[in-house]
Amino acid sequence: METENMKDPIISERAIDEPRPLKVIYIGAGVSGILAAIQFPKHVPGIELAIYDKNPDIGGTWFENRYPGCACDIPAHSYQLSFESSVDWTSFYATAPEIFKYWQLVADKYNVRRFMTFRHRCIEARWNEVTSQWHVKLINLDTGLIIEDSADVLMSGVGALNQWEWPSIKGLHDFKGPLMHSANWDMAFQPEGKNVAVIGAGSSGIQIVPALLPEVKAMDHYVRGRTWIAASFGSEFVRERNNGNDGNFDYTEDEKRAWKEDLASYKKYRKTLEAGVQGVYPAVMKDSELQAAMRSQFDRDMRERLKAKPELAERIVPDFAPFCKRLTPGPGYLEALVSPKVNVIHDVIASVDETGIITEDGQHRPVDAIVCATGFRSFGGSFPLYGRGGLSLAEYNKDRPETYLAVCMDRFPNYFQTLGPNSGLGAGNLLMVLESVTLYVAQILRKLATGNVKTIEPKRKQVENFTSFCEAYHKRTVFSDKCASWYKSGTTVEERTAGSVIGVWPGSGVHLIKAYRDVRWEDFEMQPSDGNEFGWFGNGWSVGDLKKDREALTWYLNDTKFVHEDLPESKDG
């Protein structure tokens, strides 16, 4: 029994491994939210996890993007979790519906929806110095009611490209026909026999154009910038299967059955694909041999595929290095551009009226439907966020987004993010980024729960160090070449041509995984939960001592081999 005279300020009256109650609010139920729902409870038993998402179901990108031709340009057997491999992929490159089905199966297996509340969009998050908690406002999109929630930790998994935007074109919404954005596709739209305009030649536009072409009567494709149209990642496997041709191919039922019966063979196949995805990284370095070889090869391939309309090559083939903008495999895209049904227009759009599009030269082109494949607002933050002293994230990032390892920031305690500034990969496996970040934050959550830590935030100097490293490192890469890319800071074409590289990790994909393996606690400022800096040591007891349970008292033997038959003989005989 504890008595008053037994109390001592150096002793925290808790077992050394007894967790304190810890609540986490997570914004986003896409891939990163699913990972959080799987890993956080595993690493922090008893955690209270509340995941909110604006959509009616899990999936994020793969729930929202349903435009014609939507697919992943990474081989399907690489674009999946490291610990949940499916051998049932239909084709080498999976379509959006099949990828969404995969995430539904993962969500069902791990029962992640029990943590999730859908149709709720975060509209504000504010740090409270008194309670040392995040206070979050959300709107119920079905009722319009605003609710409030609070938690010890806030994490955002909305991603870098989550907020789609209409292009800023005068009169756009005066158009009387179907008007769609690639990220908000009207599934009822029937393109058959219509004259359709597609604005934009980014990743989605490059997929939409060849997908719509067989159905439409004619197409006006508005292309402002230049883009490298390269062979898809893993295309060497496709060519081998398709007698030298690019594109895609379906797996046979015999292949799937063989992999199920021989998992070692399947693991070897997946590792080969993964090595190819990760191994292309040297090409992003300026003046590397691989960069030069790829540039030469891509230039020849594009001009060959555009030879029916060679004038297009002079307007589309880039004058900057491959990978400066995200490399865009586009099966069938260049072939679509030379089709007699497609009119490629490089003139600037001046306005839109009820019946069509007007370019700056005064020409009016009537169309039946307009598709805006014009992208997203990147790294803008999807909701207002306020840290210590009411500092807004927008103010914090006004000059250049700064983070520590792309995960957290000073003056925003107990706040973490996936796919924040400088977290993407120009070459590598994005899912391994999400897995690595989730496990990294899980270590911090465990520290907050069991280490007598109330608040944690990176030291200002380390935020500056990481930001400075990014600036210095990317001078070596082609990401800093002169191209207008969402990888860079700024909002205008001019700013995004000359801006700082804020979208890409300063290193390879494998380098990122290694960097996230262990938390460097010395890079953080921490405050104890009970005011006792030695409180992590507890009161001299463990939970196992108090439970008097055999397993809790002997857990350290679980991974021990009791009998060592191969121990060497003693030198003493």
The first and second tokens of residue 564, run together, are: 């060592």
pLDDT tens for each residue of 118-175: 999 999 999 999 999 999 999 999 999 999 999 999 999 987 655 678 888 999 999 9
Whether 4-56+118-163+379-528 shares its CATH topology with 166-233+280-374 is answered yes
The first and second tokens of residue 75, run together, are: 């081989």
Is the pLDDT reported for residue 100 higher than 60?
A: yes
Is the pLDDT reported for residue 393 higher than 80?
A: yes
| Model pLDDT, residue 377 | 60
Is the pLDDT reported for residue 453 higher than 90?
A: yes
| 427 against 223, higher pLDDT | 223
Neighbour-count burial for 184-193, b at 16+ CB within 10 Å, e otherwise: ebeeeeebee
DSSP 38-95: HHHHHHSTT-EEEEE-SSSSS-THHHH---TT-B-SS-TTTSS-TT---S--SBSS-B
Is the pLDDT reported for residue 7 higher than 80?
A: no
Percent of the chain with pLDDT over 90: 74
Percent of the chain with pLDDT over 70: 95
Q: Give the 3-state secondary structure of residue 117.
A: strand
The dihedral of CA 219, 223, 228, 234: what is its sign?
Answer: negative
| Model pLDDT, residue 571 | 55
What's the angle, vertex CA 147, arms to CA 142 and CA 153, rounded to 5? 120
Domain coordinates in residue numbering, the chain? 4-56+118-163+379-528, 166-233+280-374
Q: Which amino acid is residue 433, in one-letter code?
A: V
Please state whether beta strands 116-117 and 48-52 pair in parallel, antiparallel, or not at all (unpaired). parallel
| Cα-based distances in Å from 228 to 203, 375, 389 | 11, 17, 45
pLDDT tens for each residue of 236-261: 887 888 877 777 899 999 999 999 99
Over residues 203-227, the mean pLDDT reads: 93
| Model pLDDT, residue 573 | 44
Is residue 381 very low, low, confident or very high in pLDDT (cuts 50, 70, 90)? low
| 94 against 572, higher pLDDT | 94
pLDDT tens for each residue of 492-511: 888 888 889 999 999 999 99
Q: What is the pTM of this model?
A: 0.91
| Cα-based distances in Å from 43 to 31, 258, 545 | 18, 35, 21
Over residues 390-417, the mean pLDDT reads: 96
Neighbour-count burial for 117-128, b at 16+ CB within 10 Å, e otherwise: ebbbbbeebbbe
What's the distance, Cα to Cα, between the start and end of the chain in Å?
Answer: 54
Q: CA nearest 316: which of 205, 233, 169, 424?
A: 205
| Model pLDDT, residue 562 | 57
Is the pLDDT reported for residue 1 higher than 50?
A: no
Residue whose structure tokens are 């490629």: 344
Q: Which secondary structure element, helix H or strand E, spans residue 447, and what is its range?
A: helix 430-450
Over residues 81-94, the mean pLDDT reads: 94
| Model pLDDT, residue 560 | 61
Is residue 555 very low, low, confident or very high in pLDDT (cuts 50, 70, 90)? confident
Is residue 437 very low, low, confident or very high in pLDDT (cuts 50, 70, 90)? very high
Q: Nearest 10 degrees: CA dihedral of 545, 546, 550, 556?
A: -40
Is the pLDDT reported for residue 233 higher than 90?
A: no
pLDDT tens for each residue of 320-330: 999 998 888 77
Is the pLDDT reported for residue 232 higher than 80?
A: no
| Model pLDDT, residue 327 | 81
Topology at the third CATH level for domain 166-233+280-374: FAD/NAD(P)-binding domain (3.50.50)
| Model pLDDT, residue 161 | 55
DSSP 463-474: HHHHHHHHHHHT
| Model pLDDT, residue 379 | 55
Please state whether beta strands 161-164 and 356-359 pair in parallel, antiparallel, or not at all (unpaired). unpaired
Neighbour-count burial for 325-359, b at 16+ CB within 10 Å, e otherwise: bbbbbbbbbbebbebeebebbebebbebeeebbbb
| Cα-based distances in Å from 199 to 60, 284, 523 | 24, 28, 46
Homologous superfamily (CATH) for 4-56+118-163+379-528: FAD/NAD(P)-binding domain (3.50.50.60)
On average, the pLDDT of the chain sits at: 91
DSSP 407-439: TB-TTSTTEEESS-TT-B-SSS-HHHHHHHHHH
Is the pLDDT reported for residue 13 higher than 60?
A: yes
Spatial distance between the Cα atoms of 65 and 86, rounded to a whole number of angstroms:
22
Is the pLDDT reported for residue 485 higher than 50?
A: yes
| Model pLDDT, residue 566 | 57
